[in-house]
Structure 1
Amino acid sequence: MPVTHPALRIAALTWLVPACLSAAPVDFVRDVRPILQKHCYECHGEKKQKSGLRLDIKSEALKGGDNHSPDIIPGKAKDSPLIHFIITDDEDELMPPKGKLSAPEIETLTTWIQEGAAWPEGVDLTQLEDRRNHWSFKPLQATAPKPKGEEIDTFIDAKLNEKGLHRSPPADRITWLRRVTFDLTGLPPTPDEVTAFESGIRNRDSGIYAAVVDRLLQSPRYGERWAQHWLDVVRYADTHGFEVNTERPNAWPYRDYVIRAFNDDTPYDRFIKEQIVGDLTQQDAATGFLVTASVLLPGQIGKDEPSKRLARQDSIDEIVVNIGQTFLGLSIGCARCHDHKFDPITAKDYYSMQAFVAGVQYGDRNLQTPEAIAAREEMKQVKFQIAELDKQLARFVPMAKSGVKRIMVSARENRDRFMPVKAKRVRFTIRDTNSLEPCIDELEVFTTAGDNIAHDAAVTASGEKVTTDRHELRFVNDGNYGNSRSWMSSEKGKGWVMLEFKEEHDIERVVWGRDRQGKYTDRLATSYVIETADISGTWQVVADSDDRQRFDTRDRTQPAFSTQGLHKNEVAEAKRLMAQKAPLDDKLQKIGAGQIVFAGTFRTPDDIHLLNRGDPEQPKEPVVPAVLSALGDLKLPKEAAEQDRRKALAEWIASPQNPLTTRVMVNRIWQGHFGTGLVETPSDFGRMGVKPTHPELLDWLATEFIRSGWSVKHMHRLIVLSDTYRRTSFLARSNELENSFDIDSESRFLWRFPTRRLEAETIRDSMLAVSGQLNVKMYGRGYNLFDKRGGLSGFEPVESFTGDGLRRMIYAHKVRREPEAIFGAFDCPDAGQSTAIRRASTTPIQALNLFNSRFTLDASEAFAARVKKEAGNDFTAQVTRAYQIALSRSPTTDELQDTVPTIRDHGLATLCRALFNSNEFLFIP
């Protein structure tokens, strides 16, 4: 009877082996390789490695595939996955899939493995490519050409000669001025700046170009412009992402840190270190870099342990991915499940990098800068003053059940006063809300002596809807106001929270609010009861919402404290105390703003293991912090402290000996000026990235970057003052230039300046600047582009803007994965993924948005008002001034003839709208 079951078949084959010992051993070259060549190399050879398995090279074959390594276990044929796959009766697993091997072939492979899988060295037909032998992993090779000061142009000219290309003519001076002003500040030059520049040219001021560049680099607008490039790469946003997309109200200090760093020309090596280990140098906000990516909140993670482990893995992975692509230009995250398919990054390398940041968590924390520490001390003093005034005001708060209809329930603050009672416990029970689950930012209980005793109480509740570092039960009595430090019930419309004191107290007042900062009015307890229990455990009701007016969304200006129901002789005194308290409340809010940052928070590092297929439920051997093996041998012991790990990582990345760090950054700077980097894939310097067009220039720039003290502004000066940067983007009619266009239509070798459309933020900012509306206020909490700052869906765009809404777009509250209504169509990133380079699309919706949106109509009206104010009522003067403001030039005779009748018949705002939609306004020349 034939043997059919796979397990029995293996047993039969291995049983036969001893009988064959007298025969010659199976020879790999003669017997085994022909079988592999015939049946396996097509899918597991040089060109293709399905399931990560390669069988034409010894080292790779013995290592095995992704899901079942090793596939060949010498001396153990029956345990080797390779044998299982060639004998199985499961059609989904059988290899090769086109048909089973013959019995002799199966016997040969089985015997070969059982005999020890002898595979002589040096017999492989192909050699495994050394993936470390790649241009980006090699040390910098910088040769400075002559003459000094013209190095960039010398490198560019050499490549043009090599390719048979010819330079385009120089651009006119105003074209250069618009180009460099947009590049360095993201705004057009003003008419006064154009006039001053032209005057310098007429006076033959040899330093006028350098003077313009220095002025632009000193402008606060420079940091705002170049911070946007950086925030694109690190995918900064003001919400967490995923389905709920909850707000991150304290993310913006990191955005402000980046703006300041560029304006201050913080040396790039220090910039790197501050973002990884800024808590060591009082730059806490900088560590916002570690947690810029999306993250699941506790309420979005399953309660089972495997779900928690997977979520933790995902959160650490985002940090490693961010570090790899931002600083090193490498896709390290591809090695999470298996060795990188293209770059010399093993799965062990990946998990060793994880170990550097295994103690990093996402969350809010207090800034530890001297300014923040001083501010918190000042906050204590202001809170003490407010508490003293509250004690005096308490006697004017109407008593509960007094028969006086008291002030309506308020989202900001509610004071429930009652006759003094002895209390060991206070329970606040919510019966109804104005929407969703009830939320309380702070529950305060005051004694007859005026002391708030809630801080020291033990807290319990009916349940809590947890959002880490935002909605947690511990926040209900932590002394911090606002939605970001509040308790939220787990039940819709109801719930209770109870404070229990260490001893019995005489209390007379409970103060509470939904959001003392006044940002949120939803989730407000509109029906509630307050009860107290003495030491015997007897409960009694001390206050009930039935004694209050209901919350009215149409009247949100009602103060939290009212003189309603007071005697005439009490009103004046109460108003005096309220007048003293109001500025203190405002001061408290201002001091508190910016003292908390959403950034890296740190704890004892997790134990990191190499994971099979990236699965947290399949841990293998433990790993210690170690850098990528292809780029160094730095390794830390398992006992290394959390901060020491990040410090070592930062110093390795920022080392002048790291060949990737400076190459990646100077390439990003180059891209910011020419639209495309010397390396076209700015976040992928690996083997799947594009090779540099000018490798010698890239290395010279990287070396010069280090020599300059890692100065980003120095690199700007070198680039924008080069002759290469001054070339025109427009083609004059000549055979030479037409030939250049045929050879290099995209101008990758820079025979002409590659024109490009302005980015979304620059278009919006420029429209505001030209119309005279731009609010140049810097820093702080972002303004709203939508009617809400987070949530599931249904973001209604704000259509008309005033005040802070007229600030630069970098200061907008950025909702992750929600494109801005008008300028989102202009390829504005949504922070879902890193955007290392913006691809410029052309779509009908862009023209429709820019021509018909309320934003454009408002800006056009404001622009027209500005022009009338500056040019008077003469139509020709108005047209001339409009062109000078928007396009930095006067109109031609033909343009005047066309536009004067237009504004006479349809109004000046029509011309202003047309200018906003012109290519000359929308493109960097």
Structure 2
Amino acid sequence: MKLLSITWVHLVASASLAAPVDFIHQVRPILEQHCYSCHGPEKQKSGLRFDIKSEALRGGDSHAPNIHIGKAAESPLIHFITTQDEDTRMPPKGERLSAEEIALLTRWIDEGAAWPDGVDVAQAVDKRDHWAFKPIQPLSGSLDSFVETKLKEKQLSLSQEADKRSLIRRLYLVLHGLQPTPEEVESFIADNDPKAYENLVDRLLASPRYGERWARHWLDVIAFGETHGFEVNTPRPNAWPYRDYVIEAFNKDTPYPQFILEQLAGDTVGKDAATGFIVANAALLPGQIGKDEESKAKARQDELNDMVSITGGAFLGLTLHCARCHDHKFDPVSQTDYYSLQAIFAGVRHGERPLKSADAQKHEEDHATLLLRLAKATHRLLKFEPPALSGTQRTPVHPHRNLERFAPVTTQKLRFTVSATSDNNRYEPCLDELEIYSTSGQNIALASLGAKASASGSWSSDRHRLEHVNDGLYGNSRSWISKTKGGGWVQIEFPQATLIEGIAWGRDRLDEFKDRLPVSYRIEVAQPDGSWLKVADSTDRQTYPGSKAKLAMPQPENVEASVIAEWHDARGELNALETRLSSSKTGPMVYAGRFEQPSPIFKLNRGDVTQPKEEVVPAAVSAIGSPMKLAGDLPEQKRRVALAQWLADPANPLPARVLVNRLWQHHFGEGIVATPNDFGRNGAMPTHPELLSGLAAEFIRSGWSIKHMQKLIVMSRTWRQSSAPNEAGLAADAQTRLLWRYPPRRVEAEVVRDGMLEVAGTLDLKMGGPGFSVFAPNSNYVRVYDPRAEFGPEEWRRMIYMTKVRMAQDATFGSFDCPDAGQGQPKRPRSTTAIQALSLFNSGFVNQQAELFAQRLQKEAGNDLTRQIERAFALTAQRSPAPDEAQVCATLAREHGLPAVCRVLLNTNEFLFVP
């Protein structure tokens, strides 16, 4: 790039003998007049700033550094103020720099760009100097003492403890998301044991209902959905195992470092479903991505951005994605950090993979047994095949399975060479498995037996790899493809020389793909002298008939019936074993990502995939926690493990703070930090920073136990206080941020729906497995999610098991601020709208449950209206009705029926609010 313009070169030369350029009196006025409007204290286009020494010398997002000290001719600053290109010349508007000003700047840089310290117009902000990045300090008092200290500053104090009826309802709604039964409430009220409350807390934390409640909060954070999103929004039918994993993890009180590890690298610890975390977000399907390379690269960048973003938000409480185009403007996250984190996930792809059996060892043993049986069955069928090169015309090749029998020969290597394919050599040949049979009936080509594969050249992707040719797995997704169109060879070497008599091979043993089929080939074995002996080829095969090819008996039609029967029996056994083998090894599938060897990741100029810059290595955020920088050739899996370990290192102050804040938020309705996914400089300040730090320290000290922290919170006087208002508190802190009372709030949609089912007596507590849908079935390519007209027992499970459709809401409860899974929602809004009231009073679901609720009352209280109303209040409000309430309800029941009373009670604030 030519940086110096001829029009002012002579000015530079003539000024070379002058006194050194003075920055304060000569350079800074030029920068202030021409540069500060775009690169000063108010605005920093392209991340470039000229009013602070350190920032100016560092450079911007592009062309950093902009000033090459001592080398004006190589400095982008000089180029942009002298170029004749009107699109890039600076400043873009207003008065251009004069030749004298350009000469001064040039001489200043050549002289060493002297810039005295302490003369900046503004001072650079140390982005690391922020409360969230400070080391965690242990609690120096009780939880309550920190809250009381803040209250005293406002002349406030904690309220008195709530009554026992309110406490048990609060505990159930917060920890379980369900109502307590009237019997449980009365038993707790009557229990005078000093440890009655603590015992209740322990029992609720140990219940499986707890995990179902708290998993929902985590799924909100990561935008978990069971459809792909965007226009077609097709289902992900195997995404639900991740939901079940989260429920199980909360119920087991999985230590938080393990929880992190399992979600980032669950494939290393037998928790395959857990990596659904990485691919929880929406994703474009192949048909929605352009076929050109730029479109594919942009879509891939969006996928990687989601993976970095979800990890940063969930575990660090940082908006890492803000560093995609430039250094983060508020937090100590550089653009290099961002792309280094992308390199962690560079080998992760959206998609399904086999969900490993819980008993992995038994699973592998079953597969190994099937491989032995398969080899015996194939060897049995092999005897029906005419010997190759014997002059007998054999059946045509077939994409599914081909047998090659030859005279027994001792060798240590066999080579399969292709010279033509079924598609006129348009594509490279493909083999899903190459099996080589000894005279004893053993497939000695298996890698598990020590055989090694080599080839003239091989594709390398998640589906097509050289090692797939002898891994004992069938199908296109586990195949080898040559790198040569219409040709190439693959070779298997055994641990020792063995007497062999045949091979079996196929293009796709699952019968899905028929292209790339070798139709002209030869099979050779290595001789002791190093030469190759041909034992079979395709010359005695019949002409390939194309898609009409059938697996036929290779003997003449006039063979004995018993032989035909035996052939069919052997073939049937082999087909059945192939099917079992495939399902045995793959098992059920889970949408938890596919892993492949990572491609290099490059820093992108302003996030543009068409402008790659230097390659980056896998690393974490350099300014936070312990340093973590990995080798560029580190295997994919180890990258994710390293990131999980970095996140769980107590030296990293963010993960513990962020998780504790989430717990606080869901116990009190608002976090100590009101922006739970943004602990950075642009996020909200904590109301009690010392308390948050102390709770984080206690979290780590407890062995990262989430249940321990929840017990600590609910046992506190702060959590147990009454929610009743008082004038002083409302005047000083109307939003109850300082917690002078327990903040009452409406429960979430899931709690409303589950509670209705519970009091109606229809709630199905079946756990796990595929969920239910609240939408009418359809199979359109572009999915239309119309609400179901009717609901039955299949839809009466807890709402956590409702299939989560992106961008489509349940007709009744979607209006209650449910996230649509379009993006993470770590904090739900709490709106009040007319549609909410109309839905709760008039929807078919609510009316149905009100009818069933009435039937329950009639069954449990008989035909006595007074007893029916008392039972209804006990189930919905855990108390008896006041006299006026009982009278109004009785009148309503006589005039409009008992279901009308039930519908009213399901709409009361008492039923819908945490007390």
Match of 1:633 in 2: 627
Matched, 1:54 2:60: no
Q: Indicate conservation of the 8 Å contact 1:790/1:815, yes or no.
A: no
CA shift for structure 1 position 671: 0.7
2:700 to 693, 703, 706: 706
Match of 2:800 in 1: 810
Structure 2: where are the runs of 5+ without partners? Answer: 374-393, 401-445, 447-461, 479-501, 514-539, 551-576
* TM-score, normalisation: structure 1: 0.75
1:894 to 874, 884, 900: 884
Q: 1:260 corresponds to which letter in structure 2?
A: E
Q: Deviations over 1:183-232 (max 9, x none)?
A: 000111111211211221xxx21111111111111111100000000111
Match runs of 1:679-828 below 5 Å = 679-731=673-725, 737-786=726-775, 787-788=777-778, 792-828=782-818
Matched, 1:41 2:44: no
Q: Deviations over 1:73-125 (max 9, x none)?
A: 44555665545655668489652634445565455434434554332334323
Question: Compared with structure 1, are the counterparts of its residues 93 and 189 closer, same or farther at alpha carbon in structure 2 (3 Å cutoff)?
Answer: farther
Match of 1:643 in 2: 637
2:145 to 147, 154, 163: 154
Question: Compared with structure 1, are the counterparts of its residues 44 and 601 closer, same or farther at alpha carbon in structure 2 (3 Å cutoff)?
Answer: same
Q: Deviations over 1:359-416 (max 9, x none)?
A: 222221122344366468779999999xxxxxxxxxxxxxxxxxxxxxxxxxxxxxxx
2 CA distance for matches of 1:879 and 1:173? 23
Q: Which moved more, 1:274-283 or 1:101-110?
A: 101-110
Matched, 1:189 2:180: yes
Q: 2:914 corresponds to which letter in structure 1?
A: I
Question: Compared with structure 1, are the counterparts of its residues 689 and 370 closer, same or farther at alpha carbon in structure 2 (3 Å cutoff)?
Answer: same
Match of 1:499 in 2: none
CA shift for structure 1 position 343: 0.5
1 CA distance for matches of 2:888 and 2:902? 14
Match of 1:223 in 2: 211
Match of 2:832 in 1: 842
Q: 1:834 corresponds to which letter in structure 2?
A: G
Q: 1:611 corresponds to which letter in structure 2?
A: L
Question: Compared with structure 1, are the counterparts of its residues 589 and 28 closer, same or farther at alpha carbon in structure 2 (3 Å cutoff)?
Answer: closer
Q: 2:903 corresponds to which letter in structure 1?
A: R
Structure 1: where are the runs of 5+ without partners? Answer: 1-5, 146-150, 386-420, 428-455, 457-467, 487-502, 515-533, 545-583, 732-736
1:277 to 262, 265, 268: 265
Q: Deviations over 1:645-686 (max 9, x none)?
A: 222211111112211111111111111100111111111111
2 CA distance for matches of 1:830 and 1:811? 15
Q: Indicate conservation of the 8 Å contact 1:367/1:373, yes or no.
A: no
2 CA distance for matches of 1:763 and 1:884? 17
Q: Deviations over 1:236-264 (max 9, x none)?
A: 11112222222212111111111001001
Question: Compared with structure 1, are the counterparts of its residues 267 and 541 closer, same or farther at alpha carbon in structure 2 (3 Å cutoff)?
Answer: closer
Match of 2:602 in 1: 609
Matched, 1:622 2:643: no
2 CA distance for matches of 1:591 and 1:179? 47
Q: 2:791 corresponds to which letter in structure 1?
A: F
- In structure 2, the residue corresponding to 1:709 is in which secondary structure? coil
- In structure 1, the residue corresponding to 2:593 is in which secondary structure? strand
Q: Deviations over 1:819-866 (max 9, x none)?
A: 222211111011111111111111111112111111111111111111
Q: Indicate conservation of the 8 Å contact 1:251/1:598, yes or no.
A: yes
Q: 2:687 corresponds to which letter in structure 1?
A: T
CA shift for structure 1 position 33: 0.9
Q: Indicate conservation of the 8 Å contact 1:54/1:60, yes or no.
A: yes
- In structure 2, the residue corresponding to 1:609 is in which secondary structure? strand
Q: Deviations over 1:600-623 (max 9, x none)?
A: 332222222222222233222222
2 CA distance for matches of 1:871 and 1:765? 23
Q: 1:118 corresponds to which letter in structure 2?
A: A
Match runs of 1:25-104 below 5 Å = 25-74=20-69, 77=72, 80-83=75-78, 86=81, 90=86, 95=91, 97-101=93-97, 104=100
- In structure 2, the residue corresponding to 1:825 is in which secondary structure? coil
Q: 1:748 corresponds to which letter in structure 2?
A: R
CA shift for structure 1 position 18: 0.7
Match runs of 1:530-569 below 5 Å = 535-537=541-543
2 CA distance for matches of 1:540 and 1:622? 47
Match of 1:235 in 2: 223
Q: Indicate conservation of the 8 Å contact 1:86/1:96, yes or no.
A: no
Q: Indicate conservation of the 8 Å contact 1:284/1:369, yes or no.
A: no
2 CA distance for matches of 1:109 and 1:610? 30
2 CA distance for matches of 1:824 and 1:19? 75
Question: Compared with structure 1, are the counterparts of its residues 92 and 312 closer, same or farther at alpha carbon in structure 2 (3 Å cutoff)?
Answer: closer
2 CA distance for matches of 1:770 and 1:593? 43
Match of 1:578 in 2: none
1 CA distance for matches of 2:511 and 2:619? 50
- Aligned residue pairs total 762
1 CA distance for matches of 2:125 and 2:338? 21
Question: Compared with structure 1, are the counterparts of its residues 511 and 364 closer, same or farther at alpha carbon in structure 2 (3 Å cutoff)?
Answer: closer
Question: Compared with structure 1, are the counterparts of its residues 623 and 86 closer, same or farther at alpha carbon in structure 2 (3 Å cutoff)?
Answer: closer
Q: Indicate conservation of the 8 Å contact 1:310/1:616, yes or no.
A: yes
1 CA distance for matches of 2:155 and 2:778? 56
1:244 to 232, 242, 246: 232
Q: Indicate conservation of the 8 Å contact 1:62/1:70, yes or no.
A: yes
Q: 2:246 corresponds to which letter in structure 1?
A: V
CA shift for structure 1 position 817: 2.1
Q: Indicate conservation of the 8 Å contact 1:14/1:77, yes or no.
A: no
Question: Compared with structure 1, are the counterparts of its residues 857 and 791 closer, same or farther at alpha carbon in structure 2 (3 Å cutoff)?
Answer: farther
Q: 1:651 corresponds to which letter in structure 2?
A: Q
Q: Indicate conservation of the 8 Å contact 2:396/2:542, yes or no.
A: no
Question: Compared with structure 1, are the counterparts of its residues 96 and 163 closer, same or farther at alpha carbon in structure 2 (3 Å cutoff)?
Answer: farther
Q: Indicate conservation of the 8 Å contact 1:857/1:913, yes or no.
A: yes
Q: 2:881 corresponds to which letter in structure 1?
A: P
Question: Compared with structure 1, are the counterparts of its residues 282 and 824 closer, same or farther at alpha carbon in structure 2 (3 Å cutoff)?
Answer: same
2 CA distance for matches of 1:120 and 1:790? 69
Match runs of 1:421-440 below 5 Å = 424-425=397-398
2 CA distance for matches of 1:540 and 1:272? 51
Match of 1:462 in 2: none
2 CA distance for matches of 1:681 and 1:779? 32
2 CA distance for matches of 1:903 and 1:384? 72
Q: Indicate conservation of the 8 Å contact 1:765/1:809, yes or no.
A: yes
1 CA distance for matches of 2:512 and 2:615? 49
- In structure 1, the residue corresponding to 2:350 is in which secondary structure? strand
2 CA distance for matches of 1:56 and 1:41? 7
Match of 1:500 in 2: none
Question: Compared with structure 1, are the counterparts of its residues 366 and 374 closer, same or farther at alpha carbon in structure 2 (3 Å cutoff)?
Answer: farther
Match of 2:117 in 1: 121
Q: Deviations over 1:757-779 (max 9, x none)?
A: 11111111111111111111100
Match runs of 1:344-363 below 5 Å = 344-363=332-351
Q: Indicate conservation of the 8 Å contact 1:819/1:830, yes or no.
A: yes
Q: Indicate conservation of the 8 Å contact 1:612/1:618, yes or no.
A: yes
Match of 1:573 in 2: none
- In structure 2, the residue corresponding to 1:824 is in which secondary structure? coil
* TM-score, normalisation: structure 2: 0.76
Match runs of 1:510-521 below 5 Å = none
Q: Which moved more, 1:701-710 or 1:224-233?
A: 701-710
Q: 1:138 corresponds to which letter in structure 2?
A: K
Match of 2:867 in 1: 877
